Amino acid sequence: MSMPRNPLADLDSTEFLDNFRGSIDAFDSARLPHEPLSREGLRKLVELGIYLPAIPRAYGGRESHREMCEIIEIMSERNLPMGMYTMIVTVLFLRNVARSGDEALKEEVFDDFAHHPVIGGLAFTEPGSGSNLARMQTTYHDDGDAYRITGTKHWQAFSEQADWWIICAKHPERKEFGYFAHRRSDGGFVTTEVYDSLGLKNLGYGLNTLDLRVPRHYRLTKTREGLGDAAEILCASRFSKAAMASGFLRRLSTESLRQVNTRKIGDGTLHDIGYVRYKVSRIRQNYVACNALYRHLMLAEDYSTDLENSMFASLATKVLASELMLESALDYQQLCGGEGYRKGAPDNIAAHALLDARVYTVFDGTNDLLCQHLAHLFLRHFQESGLRSPLEFLGRFGYLEDAFFHLTDINLSHLADAPSQDRIVILGRILSRIYGIGALQKASRTAAPSARLAVDDADYAKAIAVLKNEIVGLVNEYELTARLVGAQALPGALRPHGSVVTFDSKVGMR
């Protein structure tokens, strides 16, 4: 390497993480300006080793999936946008250079990120194509000893700030997509508009035009057909929502309890009101659920490996974590009262917490689209299994089997009937909750990875009850769609009876 090895690379993991956690007070969302991070601020984070877990040991890094998760979770508790900031640079940029980059590219990139306050981003989405990456208009073609890339990208975090990019472009003649690293100082990546986003102000989104040349060794080695590699890249990003949700909701749980215990109401406090205690408990149980999702990510997945086979789990994680984040942010704002609508309020972060959390159900694919994908994956696996009972299949499907015994009093006998498009979105949401129950059940049987992630054993049963209740409601919503969209009501409408909810659809399997 051209520069001396960072001494932080050789610290014990506990010491490294404790040092990082204890040194980021200035980045708390109550203190840090809600604007793109300054280079001085980024330099401090680099000096604390924020990128080192994503850099291979051979290039001076710590090369640790678990520490990548921990850093994102720690940052998200202090400042949710900075958790996203950390994820984009480490999970989306550095991970893909490490996995798919040419050796010369790796040396150049990792040397830069290990020692300098630089930023790496991902340029995939475009105006006019939305979530359908196949419609992208950015193209690449051979240009002597380089590739020429032209097109337009938008909603890139760090649009004006990023020093490095991974750009996805398609060949104009072949059904082939390529992934290319690009150093901004080499020119050709120009931000033409900065967007005024409602939340995540620290990330700096915008519109960019591309007309650039990249050396041949800047092309990443990605070999899947179509957009298979883009899907794998996004699996990692979607999994990371568990880390962000765990940190973010731990903070909201702590702060909501403090709010209601200190808010005076007559001779008592807000906490004396039963419904208030219920709302505080719901935020707590949402945290416990996301804590379980996070523990799965930390202990059962690995950013250094190919994540294609974890597609179902990554989709379920993103859907459930982001919806629990948004629900909790709304409840937290309500508990803070009028001050919760005030940016810069002295005693809460509710206004920015809600603005920042709301985008998570949209970015990385809107949850409605991801629920469709999740449902289609489930239906395909069920059909391939040869089983006739959806509940029996749930008991054998790896990511859902731990939830089986919590679902036996809900009639899911028609879960695998191929529903109409409006219903398949709801089916995906149901599956995300079943996945969450499985993660909670699994977490309840194992020790927490650290004292910071430990929860009371009694909370697992409460969190499972919350998700199970949501499944009952979603099963009923599944039937309600027929009436709201004008379709003929199906026979056997859903009627809760005790703890049993029927799930009756006569739509055939596709």
* Maximum Cα interatomic distance, the chain, rounded to a whole number of Å: 79
The encoded tokens of residue 58 equal: 């051979």
CATH fold, domain 228-361, is Butyryl-CoA Dehydrogenase, subunit A; domain 3 (1.20.140)
The encoded tokens of residue 60 equal: 């001076």
What architecture does CATH give domain 123-218?
A: Beta Barrel (2.40)
The encoded tokens of residue 285 equal: 């149980």
- ∠ CA 425-426-427, rounded to 5°: 90
How does pLDDT run across 403-441, given as a tens digit for each residue? 999 998 888 877 777 677 888 999 999 999 999 999 999
The whole-angstrom separation of Cα 335 and Cα 368 is: 28
Question: Which of 477, 473, 485 is CA-nearest to residue 505?
Answer: 477
Looking at residue 3, its pLDDT comes to 55
Looking at residue 390, its pLDDT comes to 82
pLDDT in tens, the chain (510 residues): 445 678 999 999 999 999 999 999 999 999 999 999 999 999 999 999 999 999 999 999 999 999 999 999 999 999 999 999 999 999 999 999 999 999 999 999 999 999 999 999 999 999 988 778 888 999 999 999 999 999 999 999 999 999 999 999 999 988 899 999 999 999 999 999 999 999 999 999 999 999 999 999 999 999 899 999 999 999 999 999 999 999 999 999 999 999 999 999 999 999 999 999 999 999 999 999 999 999 999 999 999 999 999 999 999 999 999 999 999 999 999 999 999 999 889 999 999 999 999 999 999 889 999 999 999 999 999 889 888 888 888 889 889 999 999 998 888 877 777 677 888 999 999 999 999 999 999 999 999 999 999 999 999 999 999 999 999 999 888 878 877 776 444 333 333 333 322 222 222 222
The encoded tokens of residue 325 equal: 């984040």
Domain extents for the chain? 7-118, 123-218, 228-361, 368-484
- Give whole-number Cα distances, 502 to 383, 395, 472, in Å: 22, 19, 9
Helices (H), 336-416: 350-357, 367-385, 390-394
Pick among 3.40.50.300, 1.10.260.40, 1.20.1260.10, 1.10.540.10: CATH of 7-118: 1.10.540.10
